[in-house]
Amino acid sequence: MAQDQLTVRHWGQASYEDVWHAMQDFTNQRGPDTPDELWLVEHPPVFTQGQAGKPEHIINLGDIPLVKSDRGGQVTYHGPGQLIVYLLLDVRRRKLGVRHLVTSMEVAIVELLADYDIKAYAKADAPGVYVANEQSVESKIASLGLRIRRGCSFHGLALNVNMDLAPFLRINPCGYAGLPMTMSAQLGGPNTIDEAQSQLIPKLAEQLGYPHLYYTTEKLIL
């Protein structure tokens, strides 16, 4: 049944704008029986600004483009070595609220990192996943941003796996000045995208309540 099946679609590396517009088209064209999907992707270097994004959080774009998106949240950075998981779900059909989606993403990431003895946590006032070092200095390892339209979700999570973190210094990540960013490879966690996604996706599907996963690399024709 459509409500029990979750298609996990591997995009490989693809431009932010191409995948964003494909998410919009998928959401616009889906029907009441369209199975839900997770899209796994890496983006070339790009800054993205959420709907409520404030220009003062952009310090120096340099040679990296900025895309003004329709997701929630402020400005963030995407680049190779960062696992992006987009949630294209009929939340009305599954009776899921935004808070449940956010919590499911956070818990799945926290559980993934716990498997590597990395203590991570979520914060009620700042969506995402964080870690703290022995000096209690807090760093962010995963960012979240969603959009709900026509009772369906798109956008999702970005987990820093093994990437160049320097571009985050050009912005106030997620609207927080001076917020340090980290990645799992620095902490003894997953070192590759394949390693991270192979373990994260089953945990996320379990949190969201999908018993059946269908993996594909087939490209969508919308």
User: Is 120 annotated in some ligand binding site?
Assistant: no
Given the residues 161, 174, 187, 196, select the one marked as catalytic.
174
Is 152 annotated as catalytic?
no
User: Is 157 annotated in some ligand binding site?
Assistant: yes
User: Is 151 annotated in some ligand binding site?
Assistant: no
User: Is 110 annotated in some ligand binding site?
Assistant: no
User: Is 75 annotated in some ligand binding site?
Assistant: yes
* Sheet with 82-90: strands ordered across: 120-121, 129-132, 138-149, 152-160, 82-90, 36-42, 5-13, 212-216
Evaluate whether 58 touches 174 at the Cβ level (below 8 Å).
no
Count of H helices and E strands in the chain? 4, 11
| Most distant CA atoms of the chain, gap in Å | 51
| 133's tokens | 């070092």
User: Is 9 annotated in some ligand binding site?
Assistant: no
User: Is 43 annotated in some ligand binding site?
Assistant: no
Binding annotation for substrate: 71-78, 143-145, 156-158
Residue positions annotated with a catalytic role = 174
Binding annotation: 71-78, 143-145, 156-158
